[in-house]
Structure 1
Amino acid sequence: MAKAKSPLLTRPEGLYCPSGDFYIDPMRPVKRALVTHAHADHARAGHGAVLATRQTLDLMAIRYGDDFAGARQVADGEMTLGDTRVSFHPAGHVLGSAQISVTAEGQRVTVSGDYARVANPSCAEWEPVPCDIFVTEATFGLPVFRHPDPAGEAEKLLASVAAFPERAHIVGAYSLGKAQRVIMLLRQAGWDAPIYIHGALQRICDYHIAQGVALGDLRPATDDSMKKADFAGQIIIAPPSAFEATWAQRFPDPVLAFASGWMSVRARARQRGVELPLVISDHVDWADLTRTIDELNPAETWVTHGREDAVIRWCELQGRAARPLHLAGYEDEAE
């Protein structure tokens, strides 16, 4: 029997579905885009129409303005686009993030976007979606990447605060997803004190709170009523770019921390001047990536934006069909 035709093709704009006439996370403006989540390397402004979860559409409006696309449609159950059935399923990456299931040409494809399998109280948990073809990221697609328990990393931060009560602790965290996850980890670890946030995080944190994510007492880090010494022993969350600005100098002898899966690479921490690396990632590590492929057991695995070669080699050793997509334009755990 001839192999069924794949419903997705790679084009310069990104993954394209001819039978539904849409792109998934396109890197250039297109007529119709299906978007997995609101990080800027997946969600771009300027499309004719965008189909995504309600939370992703809301976050895109916060980041790009209400006119970020010509039209918006909320993903709701299984939908038909042309001759194609599509549905959205939680990805466990950030608030509103989804895997997109595409069924056409006799095959079902799951495009995972960015996904994580570790419990994340700031978003819905990853959901397994049966498929013939699984499209997986490989951001941390090397055996060396095995992320520690994020609760332990939060405890590491609190231990440093206790050890250096005269210093402020500035935690670099991307404004969508990572910042809110770090806050939630600190709350779960028992930190009930105010957490101070950079202004770039305010609207996105407010939206999480409106969506029922209990971030607790958040206060602006630029509170003019507070003196420099008042921030001793306090935790401040800010975009990593704030490390390089005079903004950080308003705090007493700050301990610079950075929450990222890349902090397991000590050279990266040193390059950024990070004193306290926190290995907290919103992507699957090697163990969870390979476990996911095993559990889904797809007939074929497509690997994109990351360490494709290692994942494909692992699939070959397991007797699994796999190929790289070589999609350009995606960043590693960045905005």
Structure 2
Amino acid sequence: MRADQILHPTPEGLYCPPGDFYIDPVRPVHRALITHGHGDHARAGHGVVLATAQTLDIMAIRYGQDFAGQRQVANGPLRIHDTTVSFHPAGHILGSAQIAIQPDKGPKIVVSGDYCRRPNPVCAPFEPVPCDIFVTEATFGLPVFCHPDPLQEMSRLTASMAEFPDRPHLIGAYALGKAQRVIALARQAGIDGPIAIHGALQNLCDYHIAQGIDLGPLVPATADTVTAQLVIAPPSAFASPWVQRFRDPVIGFASGWMQVRARARQRGVELPLIISDHVDWPQVTNTIRELSPSEVWITHGTEDGLMRWCELEGVAARPLRLVGYEDEPE
């Protein structure tokens, strides 16, 4: 069986005919396998959703208990029609997974979803899965993207807090994954006191704590007076009246895109923190070298740069040009 008969793009998303399922579909389908809980990958309305237990919990928190007709936890290898599928940690956010597809006849395909190779205190580390075809993201698929050590970025935050002790530091971070990672990194960097969080982060932070992730003392940033010097909020909050309660704040944003200075200026960011939950250029190219697949398929991101690299490395590659994927929507 040819690879494109095992997995190919459709308007709904990546479809596997021998298994009769879709991976991270952007429209409601009868059976969806979900890599992780971000809204551009995990959507409500499917007939059956198969995902890790944590991803299913996160989808229920975000969309309500009836987000799908049926839920199925991905425990161990599972038979789905003429395929065997398995889920493996992706290192992106809590519950994130790569999906391995082994048809009864044909090459083994691993769909990475979003993934990261740097240590992340709020989720399991990426697990390399040998495969014939590796489907990789290319969010930061250009050589210019070489992200620094996250703890190095957090040292810039602590230095700013020491330099401006009377100014609250408001850090924008996506509600799922990035916010909790920033909090955990702040603890590793020695910030032991209460951290204030926007109300939109409360339920997801509570879930991480219930899963055994120590985020330290958190206080709500919804009262009229917030005494904590460090405040974490979703980026959308910075365009709302909520931000006006803080006097002379230091505005920060934690994202891999903060390496692009124009983006930081456009957002009015005084303290850009280059902290990414995606692979940068060295990570994605080293991952391909490590797995040594016979072919690489490239999804959302800068496909041309990685295509050219694969060509120079003698690795067969092609773009999938999937639509509907972007930064985590707020």
Fold agreement, TM-score > 0.5 = yes
- Indicate which of 300, 314, 324 corresponds to 1:329: 324
The aligned counterpart of 1:315 is: 310
The answer to whether the 8 A contact 1:6-1:107 is kept is no
Counterpart of 2:116?
A: 116
The Cα shift of 1:10 comes to 1.1
Cα distance in 1 between the residues matched to 2:208 and 2:290 = 31
2:328, 2:65 → 1: CA distance? 25
Within a 5 Å distance, the mapping from 1:152-191 to structure 2 comes to 152-191=152-191
Residue of structure 2 equivalent to 1:93: 92
Q: Is the 8 A contact 1:5 1:106 kept in 2?
A: no
Contact in 1 for aligned 2:5/2:17 (Cα 8 Å): no
Q: Name the amino acid aligned to 2:36.
A: H
Q: Could you list the per-position Cα deviations for residues 260-285 of structure 1 after superposition, in whole angstroms to 9, with x for gaps in the alignment?
A: 00000000000001010000000000
Shift of 1:333: 4.9
The one-letter amino acid paired with 1:15 is L
- Ranges in structure 1 where 5+ consecutive residues have no aligned partner: none
Give, in whole Å, the separation in 2 of the partners of 1:301 and 1:62. 34
* Residue pairs, 1:292-307, within 5 angstroms: 292-307=287-302
Q: In 2, distance between residues paired with 1:303 and 1:326?
A: 8
Q: Which runs of 5+ in 2 are unaligned?
A: none
- Structure 2 partner of 1:214: 214
Matching residue of 1:257 = 252
Would you say the 8 A contact 1:171–1:257 is kept in 2? yes
Task: Using the TM superposition, name which of 45-54 and 105-114 deviates more.
Answer: 105-114
- Does residue 35 (structure 1) correspond to residue 29 (structure 2)? The answer is no
* TM-score, scaled to structure 2: 0.98
Q: What amino acid sits opposite 2:133 in the alignment? A: I
3-state DSSP of counterpart to 2:50: strand
Deviation digits for residues 53-83 of structure 1, max 9, x if unmatched? 0000000000000000000000010000001
Between the aligned partners of 1:269 and 1:318, the Cα distance in structure 2 is: 34
* Aligned mates of 1:306, 1:282 — CA distance in 2: 14
Note if contact 1:194-1:217 (Cα within 8 Å) is conserved in structure 2: yes
Question: Where does 1:144-155 land on structure 2 (aligned, <5 Å)?
Answer: 144-155=144-155
For the 8 Å contact 2:54–2:95, the answer to whether it is kept is: yes
- Aligned residue pairs total 329
- Deviation digits for residues 90-140 of structure 1, max 9, x if unmatched? 000000000000011321000000000000010000000010000000000
1:21 corresponds in structure 2 to 20
Matches within 5 A, 1:34-113: 34-104=33-103, 105-113=105-113
1:70 partner letter: G
**In percent, how many aligned pairs have the same letter?**
69
Q: CA RMSD in A?
A: 1.2
Q: CA deviation at 1:6?
A: 4.3
Runs of 4+, deviation exceeding 4 Å: 2-6
> How far has the Cα of 1:223 moved from its partner?
3.0
Give the residue type in structure 2 aligned to 1:286. W
Aligned to 1:286: 281
TM (normalized to structure 1)?
A: 0.96
Asked whether the equivalents of residues 15 and 22 of structure 2 are also in contact (C-alpha less than 8 Å), the reply is yes
8 Å CA contact 1:7, 1:103 repeated in 2: no
Tell me if structure 2 keeps the 8 A contact 1:37–1:43: yes
How far is 1:252 from its partner? 2.0
Corresponding residue SS for 2:22: strand
Cα distance in 2 between the residues matched to 1:6 and 1:190: 52
Distance of aligned partners of 1:26 and 1:4 in 2 relative to their CA distance in 1, 3 Å threshold: closer
Q: 2: CA distance between counterparts of 1:330 and 1:121?
A: 25
